[in-house]
């Protein structure tokens, strides 16, 4: 009953970046080789996580994404490469890929906006896209205890205020085995790495893709904790002023979990204006 009241209040206030199911990392727990160096999550602890499936001779896991409103999800532009919108669908409330989850719902995609500069400044640049979900009732996704939107940052949001961030996905658990998808949603706690450090010669300096200001590096320079294939498009969520904010979108990296090769994410705050405009355009 109390839970129902909280949901009704959250729905009414359109609060983003909150959750009813908590997930605290126990640093002493033996790390399992998941996401890379992550943990299995409790169902509903990342209620903004969506699964993007592609139909390539049958529906299958393709990428992650993040729900930001009743009708809009964000993902990485590279996840949409060579696919028509009829070959894509979004699942919300997903937890275990080999089961029917209690709160899961599937949506077709009505419209896609890929960032106009995608790949303009290198192979992995401006890797962001906005998806409008198609639903029979025009209201879109119904939020519940296991399905909630994440907040978007403003251009000026100081993401360095976040003391910890979490990347989530069903992606590969071993970097040399891209087929080792996880059944249950995984989460790993990662540090934000400043651009200057990430551009060092022994990290991503002097490589084929320059680290742009529109990118964000996160992980562990020692290696061992990272996103990997199949996590792409999924959220890097940071807690800022008590709310989870979509700080990064899983984009690329040299392998997964390697020393001095952190994960590279699309820096969502950099796109705040484009996102506002695109979401407005798609919602109206
Ligand atoms: C990929 O192939 C991919 N370690 C995603 C994330 C990272 C590397 C590769 C970051 O989708």
Q: Has residue 180 been placed in a domain?
A: no
Distance 238 CA to ligand 1 centre (A): 19
As to burial, measured by CB atoms within 10 angstroms (0-12 exposed, 13-18 middle, 19+ buried), residue 200 is: middle
The pLDDT of 237-243, averaged and rounded, is: 94
Quote the percentage of the chain above a pLDDT of 90.
79
The ligand 1 atom nearest the CA atom of 264: 10
Q: What is the structure's pLDDT at 26?
A: 64
Q: Has residue 157 been placed in a domain?
A: no
CA distance 66 to 118: 19
Quote the percentage of the chain above a pLDDT of 70.
91
Q: Has residue 265 been placed in a domain?
A: no
Q: Residue 133's domain spans which residues?
A: 47-149+271-283
Q: Is 231 in the pocket of ligand 1 (CB under 6 A)?
A: yes
The pLDDT of 98-106, averaged and rounded, is: 97
Q: What is the structure's pLDDT at 7?
A: 59
Catalytic site includes residue 226: no
In the chain, how many domains are there?
1
Distance 155 CA to ligand 1 centre (A): 25
**Active-site annotation holder among 61, 78, 95, 126:** 78
Cβ-based neighbours of 114, under 8 Å, separated by 6 or more: 77, 80, 129
Q: What is the structure's pLDDT at 100?
A: 97
pLDDT exceeds cutoff 70 at 33: no
Distance 52 CA to ligand 1 centre (A): 16
For residue range 170-223, list pLDDT tens digits in order.
999 877 676 778 999 999 999 999 999 999 999 999 888 999 999 999 999 999
pLDDT exceeds cutoff 70 at 84: yes
Distance 168 CA to ligand 1 centre (A): 12
pLDDT exceeds cutoff 60 at 71: yes
CATH of the domain at 65: 2.40.10.10
CA distance 77 to 237: 19
- φ, ψ of residue 65 to 5 degrees: the values are -170, 180
Q: Has residue 190 been placed in a domain?
A: no
Q: Report yes or no: 134 and 70 within 8 Å, Cβ to Cβ.
A: no
CA distance 79 to 99: 23
Average the pLDDT over each of 6-15, 59-68, 199-208 and give the range with the smallest value.
6-15
Q: What is the structure's pLDDT at 4?
A: 67
Q: Is 265 in the pocket of ligand 1 (CB under 6 A)?
A: no
Q: What is the structure's pLDDT at 221?
A: 94
CA distance 145 to 276: 26
Catalytic site includes residue 232: yes
Q: Has residue 104 been placed in a domain?
A: yes
190 by DSSP, 3-state: which?
A: strand
> What DSSP state is assigned to residue 60?
E
Q: Is 127 in the pocket of ligand 1 (CB under 6 A)?
A: no
**Active-site annotation holder among 61, 127, 144, 182:** 127
Report which secondary-structure segment, H or E, holds 264.
Answer: strand 263-267
Choose one of 263, 264, 265, 266 to mutate for the ligand 1 pocket test, by most ligand atoms within 8 angstroms of C-beta.
263
For residue range 247-273, list pLDDT tens digits in order.
999 999 999 999 999 999 999 999 999
Q: Report yes or no: 64 and 168 within 8 Å, Cβ to Cβ.
A: yes
Q: What is the structure's pLDDT at 137?
A: 75
**With left for phi above 0 and alpha for psi between -120 and 50, is residue 227 left, alpha or beta?**
beta
More confident call, 137 vs 74: 74
Catalytic site includes residue 251: no
As to burial, measured by CB atoms within 10 angstroms (0-12 exposed, 13-18 middle, 19+ buried), residue 201 is: exposed
pLDDT exceeds cutoff 90 at 12: no
CA distance 127 to 267: 9
pLDDT exceeds cutoff 60 at 31: no
CA distance 48 to 17: 8
DSSP letters spanning 221-259: TTSS----TT-TT-EEEEEETTEEEEEEEEEE-SSSS-T
């Amino acid at each position: 009953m109390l839970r129902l009241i909280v949901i009704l209040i959250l729905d009414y206030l359109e609060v983003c970046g909150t959750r009813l199911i908590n997930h605290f990392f126990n640093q002493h727990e033996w790390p399992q080789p998941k996401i890379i160096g992550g943990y299995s999550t409790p169902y509903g602890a990342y209620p903004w996580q969506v699964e993007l499936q592609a139909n390539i001779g049958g529906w299958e896991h393709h990428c992650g994404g993040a729900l930001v409103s009743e009708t809009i999800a964000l993902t990485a532009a590279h996840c949409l490469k060579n696919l028509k919108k009829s070959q894509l669908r979004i699942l919300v409330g997903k937890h275990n890929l080999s089961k029917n989850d209690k709160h899961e719902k599937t949506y077709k995609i009505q419209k896609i906006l890929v960032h106009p500069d995608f790949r303009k400044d290198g192979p992995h640049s401006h890797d962001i896209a906005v998806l409008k979900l198609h639903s029979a009732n025009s209201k879109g996704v119904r939020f519940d205890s296991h399905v909630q939107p994440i907040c978007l940052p403003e251009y000026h949001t100081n993401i360095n205020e976040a003391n910890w961030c979490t990347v989530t996905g069903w992606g590969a658990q071993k970097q040399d085995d891209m087929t080792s998808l996880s059944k249950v949603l995984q989460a790993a706690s990662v540090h934000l790495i400043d651009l200057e450090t990430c551009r060092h010669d022994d990290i991503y300096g002097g490589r084929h893709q320059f680290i742009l200001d529109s990118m964000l590096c996160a992980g562990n320079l020692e290696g061992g904790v990272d996103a990997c294939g199949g996590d792409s498009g999924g959220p890097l969520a940071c807690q800022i002023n008590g709310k989870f904010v979509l700080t990064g979108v899983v984009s690329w990296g040299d392998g997964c979990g390697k020393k001095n090769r952190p994960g590279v994410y699309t820096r969502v705050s950099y796109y705040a204006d484009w996102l506002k405009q695109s979401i407005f355009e798609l919602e109206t």
